[in-house]
Amino acid sequence: MSAGSPENNVKLPWRKAMPSFLLTAAIAVTVIWRSEAESIADERQVAERMAVTHGAAIRRNIERALSATYPLAALVRQANGTPANVEQLAGELLPFYAGASALALAPDGIVRIIVPEAENAPVIGTDLLHGPTRDKEAIRARDTATLTLTPPVQLVQGGVAAIGRLPVHLGSGPDRKFWGLISVLIRFPDVLQSADLDHLKAEGYAYHLWRNDPDGDFRVHHTIATSGDPLIDPVSVAVPIPNGTWMLSVSPVDGWGDPLNLVMKSALGLSICILAAGLHHSIESLRRERAEVERRIELRTRELARSEQRFRDIAHISADWIWEVDAEGRYTFASASVRSLLDYSPEELLGKTPFELMPPDEAARVSAALAETVAARAPFRDLENIVLHKNGTPMVTLTSGTPILDDEGKLLGYRGVDRDITARRKLEEQIRQLAFLDTLTQLPNRRLFTDRLNQALALTGRSACYGALLFMDLDRFKPLNDEHGHAVGDLLLLEVAERLKRCVREADTVARFGGDEFVVLIGALATDRAVSLAHAAAIAQDMLESLSQPYHLRKRNDVGNDITIEHHCSASIGVTLFRGHETTVEALLQRADTAMYRAKAAGRNTVRFAESDEAV
């Protein structure tokens, strides 16, 4: 929906917001009535638990969006600072990272590439480290060599967003060189929607998400999100973010234990309901606008695809290797470029058939695929096949050909071109790996794990056996990073991954969700719930014992000598059972995550089941 069509906004039916209005009204009345009977201590405990839950959701959303920078950083380091097809990779990665609306590469601190470019073009050329456009958070990221998140700011291209800056260095040790920054744009308030901060307001709480000035002036607070209501002696919880900490402060709108007239409370509840209905109306407007933008993007994508196909058709005439074969399929001509592709001279190929350059199985497949085409004397295009380099290395090529006919229509042979696409296939395989595996541990990432969890839900539904989901967070991980650096932290994460895999069966799944969070899927326990609970508890206890064993991590000190760091670490584990599609994947993960935070609150290095499981 365009900005120039306000009539469409007016026509959005307010009745669509009525269910939200009625539901919010019912919740508000219930909360207001129950709050009268609660003590101040109970209210503060409830507020703190809610702040912890929403703070954890905010942290996950931010870390999930920020993790989009890691694949690009890996690609930059792999390519020694000059990655190829980085715009395509960034475009393909972006949809997999919820909350991330744009990715940018800034070699030497100057923004050179940003995806998507159309809506962010004004940013290209911005110098983040020097001159009038210098960004102190970018400088801070470079100087600390740490992923750093800015507070939400007004963007040059419009809108409000926080920007994650990941410094990238090439090489290691004394030869380590600063390459530049990889940035991810996190739109506000979009990234906070799934954290559902407005649920706090619906529950009768005011909230303020803020942080101190990064330069150390504690008198200066930067507001990130607020309900707009004043805070009265609030409960505050820390929300760790890369290279900093945000704070989420929460208090009841009417103060702690201060009873108000029931009529006034009802009026306040009505106001909240109206705000919720208005928010619903606004979200519906934004949804329709987004659908229109996506439609336009799809049309543009199709147009670009057609243009690319036309380009490929034209490019065939200048492919790497031009050839001709006779009616029996034997080479009668090969261009000189075959030497650079396969290391054969043109003379060496004369009299051979293309199938003699292929592995036996590939030759049979290609021969069968071409049989009908050759019989019909028809052209063929972009036949992908494997040929062997002179040294035996397999190469992937695209082959196109057209028949050579005499004046009477008799087939004399074929003329065509081969193009080497080996590097492209390898890059596509790398991209597939990035899409499904964690780049550090090579464990399944969130996307692959979600798919396996869906399969497990279906399987347990058929077998009637329970499965278990374990959500864990390492204790004392941040001090190791702060004292010894992220390289040592990465070594710890690798060792944790190996220990977890040794604690489960080969058919089970260990995944990393980012940071120091790991998730384990145990399938097919037992049909009896109590037995399954005991089995899951035993597995979780084995993991606790394994993870609590000392870690011996090797690093190189400042003088170039290898030293061993002994580190002791534990974990907090939340466990929940599942069977069939009794719940959704998202709800199941949330249940295990909540149990994990209960384990942390219980003193860490412990296991807690979801409340619904403990009640059994």
What pLDDT was estimated at residue 2?
45
**504's tokens:** 């489960």
Q: For the chain, what percentages of helix, strand and coil (3-state, to nearest 5) are there?
A: 45, 25, 30
**Residues 280-337: pLDDT tens digits?**
667 777 777 777 877 887 887 677 666 545 433 443 344 468 999 999 999 999 988 8
- The pLDDT score that the predictor gives to residue 216 is 52
Residue with tokens 């190996």: 498
What is the fold, at CATH topology level, of the domain defined by 319-424?
Beta-Lactamase (3.30.450)
Tokens 């929906």 appear where? 1
Instruction: Kindly state the helix (H) or strand (E) to which residue 460 belongs, with its residue range.
Output: helix 446-463
- For domain 437-614, give the CATH superfamily: Reverse transcriptase/Diguanylate cyclase domain (3.30.70.270)
Strands 570-578 and 607-609: parallel
| Contact indicator for 583, 454 with CB cutoff of 8 Å | no
Fold: same for 65-192 and 437-614: no
Q: What is the pLDDT of residue 325?
A: 93
Nearest of 289, 280, 299 to residue 3 by alpha carbon: 289
pLDDT of residue 220: 52
3-class secondary-structure state, position 172 = coil
How does DSSP classify residue 4?
T
Please state the separation of Cα 566 from the chain's center in Å.
32
pLDDT of residue 314: 40
Q: Report the CATH fold assignment for 65-192.
A: Beta-Lactamase (3.30.450)
DSSP-based three-state secondary structure for 615 = coil
Beta-carbon-side half-sphere exposure of residue 266 (alpha carbons within 13 Å): 3
Give the pLDDT of residue 177. Answer: 92
Instruction: Encode burial over 357-388: b for 16+ CB neighbours within 10 A, e otherwise.
Output: bbeeebbeebeeebeeebeeeeebeebebbbe
Based on its alpha-carbon atoms, the radius of gyration of the chain, rounded to whole angstroms, reads 30
Taking 70 as the pLDDT cut, the residues of the chain under it are 1-18, 20-21, 25, 28-29, 31-38, 157, 212-221, 243, 258-271, 273, 276-278, 280-281, 301, 304-320, 430, 433-435, 613-616
Report the pLDDT value the prediction gives residue 13, as an integer from 0 to 100: 53
User: CA torsion, points 60, 63, 68, 72, in degrees to nearest 10?
Assistant: -150
What is the domain partition of the chain in residue ranges?
1-36+259-317, 65-192, 319-424, 437-614
